[in-house]
A and B are shown apart, each in its own frame.
Chain A
Amino acid sequence: MFYREAGQFKTTYADDQALLPIAQDRVGLIIVLAIAFLVLPIVASDFFLSSIMIPFLVFALAAIGLNILMGYAGQLSLGTGAFMGVGAYSCYKLTTIFPDLNILIVLLLSGFFSAGVGVVFGLPSLRIKGLYLAITTLAAQFFLEWCFIRVGWLYNYNDSGAIEVPQRELFGLAVTGPHATPETRYLIILTIVAVMTLVAANVLRGRIGRSWMMIRDMDIAAELMGVRPLYAKLSAFAFSSYYCGVAGALMVFMWLGSAEVEAFDINHSFLVLFMVIIGGMGSLTGCFMGAAFIWVLPVILRAIPPAFELDILAATMEHISSIIIGALIIFFLIVEPHGLARLWRVGKEKLRTWPFPYAT
């Protein structure tokens, strides 16, 4: 009833090609952004901002990175955690070498290093694909993890072997380090994620994005139509790793405050993979849904026993949430392989025709 496109006529190509052609979608997005930018920082508690929203945004960005590679370009990767690590370590190196450089620039620059590493480990994709490629990305994962431990230069030869985030300021306001308030950190991450999502959405519907999807759907046909697999695949790896790298840098600088190598281990690669599967492969909205689902579900599950005064061990809830997430992954793969994003779309379709489901 409210969600109907009747009467919205497109008179120009630009209108027709818009990212959100339906007015209600645009309004909806504006409302969501307004809540995220204006309402949440004011009303939300510190815990909600720093332990739910910030990780959610970080993981959503990483999921976008993986989704570009997996959902759009069709290349399976298990090395997301390590690529995030490359971003984090290069951000740390850059900001300690050039302490006066604006931290936002440093964050965005650090993605280029992980893009470079991504391209190197993406090279095998020119010859192999599918499961075999997944295993070469495992090689990237373990080799890079080893480098993070063994190359002392990466963490400035700290005794602790961890990277510790120094305080950096923007317009006189602490944005990293312990003195940065959750609100500041949240708003910065939100801005970066929003802008990068917009960029991704536009790249994906442009020439490059289409060439990725052609490679994914049928590489030989794509090649015949003039898509060069070399460029298409390596650019997908570069883009994807760039996003993952920035996500990793944000994770350490805006959220954790310090990180050892275990913050980038294989389990994080899987975590992001689950977000992409549950959210929906080949959908940007899905990345946000998947990240919200995988990150928030355990937090909620953990809050259940104290809320109802049940005497359940924290560890037990941990196991239960592991079982639930595992079962849901299987459930989604069986029932709806395109994940939450697809459910969302189906819901919207229903709304468009409601209350006359047979009207079309």
Chain B
Amino acid sequence: MNLKKLSCTAIAAAAMVVGLPIAQAEDSLFMPSLTYRTGPFAGGGTPFADGYADYFNMLNERDGGIGGAKIVVEECETAYNTQKGVECYEATKDKGALAYSPLSTGITLALIPKASVDEIPVFSMGYGLSAAAIGEKFPWTFVYPTTYWNQLSSILKYIDANGGLDGKKVGFIYLDVGYGKEPLPLLEKLSASLGFEVAKYPVGVKEMQNQSAQWLNVRKERPDWMIMWGWGAMNPTAVKEAAKIRYPLDRFIGNWWAGSHNDLNAVGKSGKGYLAANFSGIGQDFPAVQDILTHVVDKGNSKVASRDDVGNVLYNRGMFNAVVLAEAIHVAQQKTGKTVITGADMRDGLENINIDEARLKELGLEGFSAPVKGTCSDHEGAGAVFLQQWNGEDWEKITDLIEPDNDTVRPLLEEAAEKYVSDKPDWQGQTCS
């Protein structure tokens, strides 16, 4: 038995050493999808991956791909683990991968330097390194539609418009990893200029479901507003704890990773009033989402657990990720005149992306998100976010799009980008005229 196992292993290993044959058809566009359907954050990773895959599959079914080329989506499971993410990257990059959406700050940070050498763009949609918004310094990284820092400035604008910020105390509860700490420098800068006080409440990854100490501190220090940078099991626990200490939930704002159906379904009615930022539309009332339902879900080609999951916050976010990438492919095809493009073409496509209101309507996504327009130097599109509120059963959009405070944030982003490349003498930037 051992011998048999050994020989099987040997054969498989031999195949791996030489490199598995690439079984891609000639006119196809290869889109790797780094998913995490397992691990502690599977709850958020699963709908996102479904939305991502379903949109591309819908394009294949409805339009026969993009510009006549079918899109091949290959999932690779990372379990939110950087090592597996890097492995997935290495395993798929030689198959003609057009772009990576790593969906984890750790993996994004690992891929940013690698991908620019391999000439494959990294599209970390609204996560990862905020500084990557600066196109001159990060030619291969894109963070459309906006960054964590801009998002924070939008949230602070909302607070300012609802009772003012000056002299107030803002509590910031965050997952104690790179992702959660990302907005801290901006928060501290803005607190000085806008005149509010900041109280920080870190939540360790292992303590995600054990937050009573943090919320006891909140009760003691009584901040006027709470902002949360949470993910996974941290979110429902935080909202439950906030409700427990009777913190007014309509003064508790999560970021766009802390406001999904998966988070709040577990909380239910007691989470009523909780706010969260978002940049992608909610629900199924968009023609593109309806197309997904008819062309993919109803034909049984989707991995969603139930039809109702289509249209929930993270599903639509995953779909939006695919929308931006598909649009970039479209732009690249038009620019190059080729059907099958390369990673470098894809980069140009992403850089010249322009999803305005009219284009959104064409795509069947009218009012789905803020327009996204990229340039050589602007890799974030400075998109706006809106706030949504949990009504006990579902999310409702309650504000219009809130523009970020670009004038304050942009110089800080440039500073951060400068800092990132400062200890990397061989870093390849680009010049934008």
Direct contact of A and B (CB under 8 A): yes
Question: Are B182 and A159 closer than 8 Å at their CB atoms?
Answer: yes
Within 8 A of A (CB), among B16-36: 16-20, 35
A55 and B83 contact, Cβ closer than 8 Å, known pairs A47-B19, A161-B181, A177-B426: yes
Bound together, the chains give a CA A19 to CA B425 distance in angstroms of: 46
**Is A43 interfacial (CB-CB < 8 Å)?**
yes
Enumerate chain A residues within 8 angstroms of B216, measured Cβ to Cβ.
none
**Is A257 interfacial (CB-CB < 8 Å)?**
yes
Residue tally, chain B, CB below 8 Å to A: 56
**Is A296 interfacial (CB-CB < 8 Å)?**
yes
Bound together, the chains give a CA A166 to CA B423 distance in angstroms of: 7
Question: Are A146 and B204 closer than 8 Å at their CB atoms?
Answer: yes
Residue A48 contacts which of B17, B77, B83 (CB distance < 8 angstroms)? B17
A303 and B76 contact, Cβ closer than 8 Å, known pairs A159-B419, A178-B113: no
**Is B37 interfacial (CB-CB < 8 Å)?**
yes
Which segment of A21-29, A106-114, A125-133, A315-323 sits at the interface? A315-323
Which segment of B103-111, B240-248, B346-354, B401-409 sits at the interface? B103-111
Which segment of B86-94, B150-158, B364-372, B389-397 sits at the interface? B86-94
Bound together, the chains give a CA A45 to CA B15 distance in angstroms of: 10
Q: Mark A146-166, 1 if CB is under 8 A from B, else 0.
A: 100100000000011110101
- Residue on A with the closest CB to B115? A178
Residue tally, chain A, CB below 8 Å to B: 49
Question: Are A263 and B83 closer than 8 Å at their CB atoms?
Answer: yes
Chain B interface mostly: helix
**Is B185 interfacial (CB-CB < 8 Å)?**
yes
A178 and B17 contact, Cβ closer than 8 Å, known pairs A256-B82, A260-B106: no
Question: Are B423 and A160 closer than 8 Å at their CB atoms?
Answer: no
Question: Are A96 and B19 closer than 8 Å at their CB atoms?
Answer: no
Bound together, the chains give a CA A313 to CA B426 distance in angstroms of: 40
Enumerate chain A residues within 8 angstroms of B17, measured Cβ to Cβ.
40, 43-45, 48
Question: Are B16 and A258 closer than 8 Å at their CB atoms?
Answer: no
**Is A94 interfacial (CB-CB < 8 Å)?**
no
Question: Are B116 and A178 closer than 8 Å at their CB atoms?
Answer: yes
Enumerate chain B residues within 8 angstroms of A318, measured Cβ to Cβ.
37-38, 77, 79
**Is B176 interfacial (CB-CB < 8 Å)?**
yes
Question: Are A319 and B114 closer than 8 Å at their CB atoms?
Answer: no
Bound together, the chains give a CA A115 to CA B46 distance in angstroms of: 41
Residue B82 contacts which of A146, A159, A161, A260 (CB distance < 8 angstroms)? A260
Question: Are B75 and A260 closer than 8 Å at their CB atoms?
Answer: no
Within 8 A of A (CB), among B34-67: 35, 37-38, 42
Question: Knowing that A260-B82, A343-B2 are A-B contacts, what are 13 other residue pairs whose CB atoms are under 8 Å apart, sorted by A's residue number?
Answer: A47-B19, A48-B17, A50-B90, A55-B87, A159-B420, A161-B178, A256-B86, A256-B110, A262-B82, A300-B9, A300-B13, A313-B303, A317-B77
- List 9 A-B pairs, minimum CB-CB distance, nearest first: A45-B19, A315-B37, A314-B77, A178-B113, A161-B178, A178-B117, A51-B90, A260-B106, A51-B87
